[in-house]
Amino acid sequence: MVWRGFTLLILMPEVLVMKVNDLGKLLIIGVIFASLIAAAGCSSKPQSKPAPKEPSPPGELKQLQTSLDELYNALKPESPGKEQGGQKKQQQSQGKGGEEQTAGKGKQAEETKKKAPTEIDWNKLQAQAEKIHDQWNKLEPKVVQAGARPENITGMEKELDTLPTKIAARDRSGARLAANSAAGYLPDFIELYTKKVPPDLYRMRVITRDVLLCVDDGDWAGAEQDMLKMKTIWSNLLVQLEDTSKTETDKTHMALLDLEDALGKRDEVLVLIKGNILEKNLDEMIKRHDMKM
């Protein structure tokens, strides 16, 4: 009996060890199953939150765009009058002996037309320039925070700083060019936000105006270079306008070709007419896109 008891005492630790080991295995298996269940539960949930939607363009951007448009429209090229057109025909019919004299008169008339037209309220435009600077002051920190490129900020400020100086000097050509050049940076800022209107539509309008400004200043070569840029932008833009009616895009496309043809003819009056038609078509496309969303 003693021997059997002794044997039992000897075997009991081994039995205890076996039970402990089995319990440990069960615990390990339980942990593994729990991990698998947790992993399965996690896999059904999204791994990461979707990127937040970019905000819409701030109201200050639209306000600035409107103010620049108003200033440009007060200074934009106008169709030459009958008297000026008659002078051009007279200059063409005169011989070489009168070319120098008529060229001097033409230059003087051109300077008068661009720098001191009596119909322009320069004091009103100076107040408009101050308003534009105030609007930019409110917009600038927002576009910087949205990720605007430093060179676009610098370029915008350069044009806006030029604007009141040209207005104070009664320089019609310089003032309208500065206003349009400043507007040329707005599409870059629009791209930082959720867009209703393709920014290239605004770029097309800016370059259309630049064509008219170049022609009005006698820079036909500059106008032709702008025309090449505009055709490239339009080709890219057509891909973005797949949802736009074909009638609308065809109308704008034909207006673009008409403007190019007028440039080839070196007809200032025709360029102005065709340029205004193209700008009108672009404005209509911008409004329709803005109303869709």
Is there a domain that residue 250 lies in? yes
Question: Are residues 264 and 290 located together in one domain of the fold?
Answer: yes
First-to-last alpha carbon distance for the chain, in angstroms, is 97
Same-domain check for residues 176 and 281: no
Averaged pLDDT for residues 208-235: 96
- Tens of pLDDT, residues 103-143: 444 454 455 444 444 589 999 999 999 999 999 999 999 99
Burial class (CB in 10 A: 0-12, 13-18, 19+), 258: middle
* Residue finishing a domain among 134, 159, 194: 194
pLDDT at 111: 52
Q: For residue range 258-281, what is the model confidence (pLDDT) as tens digits?
A: 999 999 999 999 999 999 999 999
Judgement on whether residues 140 and 179 belong to the same structural domain of the protein: yes
Residue 228 falls inside a structural domain: yes
Q: What is the CATH number of the domain that holds 213?
A: 1.20.120.290
126 and 138 housed in the same domain: yes
Q: Are 271 and 185 in a shared domain?
A: no
Co-location of 206 and 190 in the same domain? no
Confidence of residue 81 (pLDDT cuts 50, 70, 90): low
**In the structure, what pLDDT confidence band is assigned to residue 241 with cuts at 50, 70 and 90?**
confident
70-95 mean pLDDT: 62
Last residue of one domain, picked from the residues 194, 228, 258:
194
Which residue, 162, 194, 226, sits at the end of a domain? 194
Residue 81 lies inside a defined structural domain of this protein: no
| Average pLDDT in the chain | 79
Q: Which residue has the tokens 């080839």?
A: 264
State the number of CA atoms in the 13 A half-sphere of 21 facing the CB. 6
Of 150, 143, 130, which Cα lies nearest the Cα of 60? 143
Asked if residue 14 is part of any domain, the answer here is: no
Could you tell me if 205 and 155 lie in one domain?
A: no
pLDDT tens per residue across span 172-200: 999 999 999 999 999 999 999 987 789 99
Residue 190 shares a structural domain with residue 202: no
Is residue 129 within 8 Å of residue 64, measured between CB atoms? Answer: no
Domains held by the chain: number: 2
What CATH number is given to the structural domain containing 136? 1.20.120
Among 3-7, 65-69, 185-189, which is the least confidently predicted range? Answer: 3-7
Q: Is the pLDDT of residue 217 over 50?
A: yes
Distance CA 13, CA 165 (A): 101
Question: Residue 82: pLDDT band by 50, 70, 90 thresholds?
Answer: very low
Same domain, 218 and 142: no
- Does 267 reside within a domain? yes
Residue 162 and residue 247 share a domain: no
Q: Is the pLDDT of residue 169 over 90?
A: yes
Give 96 or 288, the one with higher predicted confidence: 288
Rounded distance, CA 184 to CA 189, Å? 10
Which residue range is the domain that position 184 belongs to?
A: 57-75+113-194
> Do both 63 and 174 map to the same domain?
yes
Domain assignment of residue 51, yes or no: no
- Does residue 22 belong to any structural domain of this protein? no
Stated length of the chain: 293
Same structural domain, 170 and 65: yes
Domain-embedded: residue 143: yes
